[in-house]
């Protein structure tokens, strides 16, 4: 086998990099579980009719074909999921009789899209989704809860600052109705293009495609221009002088979401009321979310979601939901590939137990066993090289401590400082930050 090369769009990590990803996943899981979100895992493949129901066949689904099939019709009828929402909706319907509602779930899995790979876009990627789903009616306070939980989770991540941009479809639809727009859905679809088109182009489309007057189009752009890290957006909207009952509801809901997330604001995370945020997809009916990473706006949003009043329906019962998806690969892989994110070591081991000679392997094993029994990851040197080489062996892996078990007593060396002290394998404990690999991140050169 000649040396294999990477497959484009399928990123893989080296062990030290994987430790950084594991740390991110662990922080997400911890926050989600503290808030009572249960984990599920769905199979990677769904029947094609489930995947393609929404008509978005541009999703570039990977279909599974059995290599050893008996006939030409070898497609399994299954395709890899391209997100975690479609499988979740199917899971809810399939297991509705066995689930308790409201059902809070988180799901951290890979998804696949056969699209052309580009920066921040992969064919295989990992994402973390939280959703709350209910039968029939989902009270609004779950919008606040989902936003707050994701805000808390994001605020713990060792990444460039993340922002959760929020808006309310009710707010903007109410505003568009308030100015007399006949077709608010079309206005939303056009406003959604503001991140790709210039404002005057969008204004022109509002006139030609949504039948607005120049003045109405100007009002829409003025609304979209409002973006505040707090609830001051309310006064700015009111200053535009538009009145509509749905606008009032939207303003109240967006206020509640922003206030709910405010405690999570820190130097790594901010919530932002962004009234240009529309998320063109028809199925969002209330709060909408997008996540951005500071300095990486060019890769687009790294997560998003919102409220959908019909996540799933079996004809008799409708299951409304609200959720947010966070792109783990989308955020981590660009940082890792630039060398801006990794971890302090490539192995879990906090201690390398040195080996005086092959005959004393049992004694070194015994030291390692005592350390492990107290939760300290340890490995024994692979061979009885000179101690200098064993220390370099630890150094190359980022293992902070080397243990020497001599006839006259034990000593442990912190190879970063060079300090070497007497130690008892039954009681010695490293500082807690040395127990596990630590994430290390660098700022991008500006």
List the interface residues with its own copies, window 103-122 (CB under 8 A).
Answer: 104-105, 110, 112, 114
Question: How many angstroms separate the CA atoms of 3 and 228, rounded?
Answer: 52
Chain position carrying tokens 């137990």 = 353
Question: How many angstroms separate the CA atoms of 414 and 403, rounded?
Answer: 9
Binding characters for its own copies, 70-109, by CB under 8 A (x = yes): -----xx-xxx---------xx-xxxx-xxx-x-xx----
Please report how close the Cβ of residue 266 comes to its own copies at its closest, in angstroms: 15
| Residues within window 198-257 making contact with its own copies, judged by CB under 8 A | none
Q: 192 or 253: whose CB is closer to its own copies?
A: 253
| Residues within window 41-60 making contact with its own copies, judged by CB under 8 A | 41-45, 47-48, 50, 53, 57-58, 60
CA atoms within 13 A on the CB side of 39: 13
Q: 68 or 432: whose CB is closer to its own copies?
A: 68
Q: 113 or 165: whose CB is closer to its own copies?
A: 113
Q: 241 or 375: whose CB is closer to its own copies?
A: 375
Q: 95 or 213: whose CB is closer to its own copies?
A: 95
Closest by CA to 50, choosing from 299, 226, 314, 322, is 314
Under the criterion CB under 8 A, does residue 342 sit at the interface with its own copies?
no
**Helices (DSSP H) in 161-305: which residue ranges?**
169-178, 184-191, 199-209, 214-224, 233-238, 245-261
Out of 372, 389, 416, 442, point to the residue binding its own copies (CB under 8 A). Answer: 372
Under the criterion CB under 8 A, does residue 349 sit at the interface with its own copies?
yes
Out of 10, 211, 238, 442, point to the residue binding its own copies (CB under 8 A). Answer: 10
Chain position carrying tokens 């903007």 = 172
Q: 19 or 163: whose CB is closer to its own copies?
A: 19
Q: Which stretch binds its own copies (CB under 8 A): 63-71, 162-170, 197-205, 269-277?
A: 63-71
Closest by CA to 329, choosing from 292, 302, 360, is 302
| Residues within window 129-168 making contact with its own copies, judged by CB under 8 A | 134, 139, 141
Q: 50 or 356: whose CB is closer to its own copies?
A: 50
Under the criterion CB under 8 A, does residue 175 sit at the interface with its own copies?
no
Q: Which stretch binds its own copies (CB under 8 A): 165-173, 289-297, 347-355, 410-418?
A: 347-355
Question: How many angstroms separate the CA atoms of 400 and 413, rounded?
Answer: 8
Out of 36, 280, 339, 409, point to the residue binding its own copies (CB under 8 A). Answer: 36
CA atoms within 13 A on the CB side of 22: 16
CB 384 within 8 A of CB 358: yes
Would the CA dihedral through 170, 173, 177, 178 be positive or negative? positive
Which residues lie below 8 Å from residue 38, measured CB to CB, with a gap of 6+? 103, 104, 105, 106
Q: Which two tokens stand for residue 75?
A: 């497609």
Sheet holding 401-406, edge to edge: 378-380, 351-353, 401-406, 409-414, 420-422
Under the criterion CB under 8 A, does residue 430 sit at the interface with its own copies?
no
DSSP string, 393-427: HHHHHT--EEEEEETTEEEEEETTT--EEE--TTT
Under the criterion CB under 8 A, does residue 359 sit at the interface with its own copies?
no
CB 81 within 8 A of CB 42: yes
The count of chain residues that interact with its own copies, using the rule CB under 8 A, is: 89
Under the criterion CB under 8 A, does residue 266 sit at the interface with its own copies?
no
Please report how close the Cβ of residue 272 comes to its own copies at its closest, in angstroms: 22
Under the criterion CB under 8 A, does residue 127 sit at the interface with its own copies?
no
Under the criterion CB under 8 A, does residue 421 sit at the interface with its own copies?
no
Under the criterion CB under 8 A, does residue 347 sit at the interface with its own copies?
yes
Please report how close the Cβ of residue 391 comes to its own copies at its closest, in angstroms: 14
């Amino acid at each position: 086998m000649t040396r294999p090369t990477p497959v484009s769009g399928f990123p893989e990590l080296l062990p030290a990099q994987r430790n950084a990803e594991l740390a991110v996943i662990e922080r997400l899981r911890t926050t989600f579980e503290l808030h009572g979100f249960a984990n599920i895992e769905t199979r990677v493949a769904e029947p094609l009719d489930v995947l393609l129901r929404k008509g978005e066949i541009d999703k570039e689904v990977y279909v599974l074909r059995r290599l050893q099939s008996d006939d030409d019709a070898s497609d399994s009828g299954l395709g890899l999921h391209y997100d975690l929402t479609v499988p979740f909706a199917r899971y809810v319907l399939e297991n509705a009789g066995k689930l308790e509602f409201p059902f809070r779930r988180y799901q951290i899995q890979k998804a696949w899209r056969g699209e052309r790979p580009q920066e921040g876009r992969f064919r295989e990627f990992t994402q973390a989704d939280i959703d709350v789903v209910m039968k029939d009616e989902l009270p609004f306070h779950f919008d606040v809860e989902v936003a707050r939980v994701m805000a808390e989770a994001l605020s713990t991540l060792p990444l460039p600052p993340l922002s959760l941009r929020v808006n309310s479809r009710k707010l903007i639809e109410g505003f568009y109705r308030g100015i007399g727009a006949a077709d608010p859905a079309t206005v939303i679809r056009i406003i959604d293009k503001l991140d790709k088109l210039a404002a005057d182009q969008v204004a022109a489309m509002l006139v030609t495609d949504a039948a607005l007057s120049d003045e109405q189009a100007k009002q829409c752009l003025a609304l979209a221009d409002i973006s505040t890290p707090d609830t001051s957006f309310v006064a700015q909207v009111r200053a535009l002088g538009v009145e509509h009952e749905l606008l009032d509801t939207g303003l109240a809901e967006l206020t509640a979401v922003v206030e709910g997330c405010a405690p999570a604001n820190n130097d790594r995370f901010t919530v932002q009321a962004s009234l240009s945020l529309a998320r063109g997809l028809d199925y969002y009916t209330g709060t909408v979310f997008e996540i951005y990473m500071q300095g990486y706006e060019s890769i687009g949003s790294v997560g998003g979601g919102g409220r959908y009043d019909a996540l799933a329906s079996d004809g008799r019962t409708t299951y409304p939901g609200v959720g947010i998806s966070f792109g783990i690969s989308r955020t981590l892989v660009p940082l890792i590939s630039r060398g801006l994110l990794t971890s302090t070591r490539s192995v879990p081991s906090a201690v390398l137990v040195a080996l005086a000679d092959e005959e004393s392997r049992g004694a070194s094993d015994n030291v390692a066993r005592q350390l492990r029994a107290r939760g300290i990851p340890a490995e024994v040197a692979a061979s009885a090289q000179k101690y200098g080489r064993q220390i370099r062996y630890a150094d190359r892996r980022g293992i902070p401590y080397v243990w020497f078990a001599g006839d006259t007593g034990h000593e442990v060396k912190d190879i970063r400082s060079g300090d070497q002290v007497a130690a008892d394998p039954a009681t010695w404990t490293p500082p807690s930050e040395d127990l596990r690999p630590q994430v290390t991140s660098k700022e991008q050169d500006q």
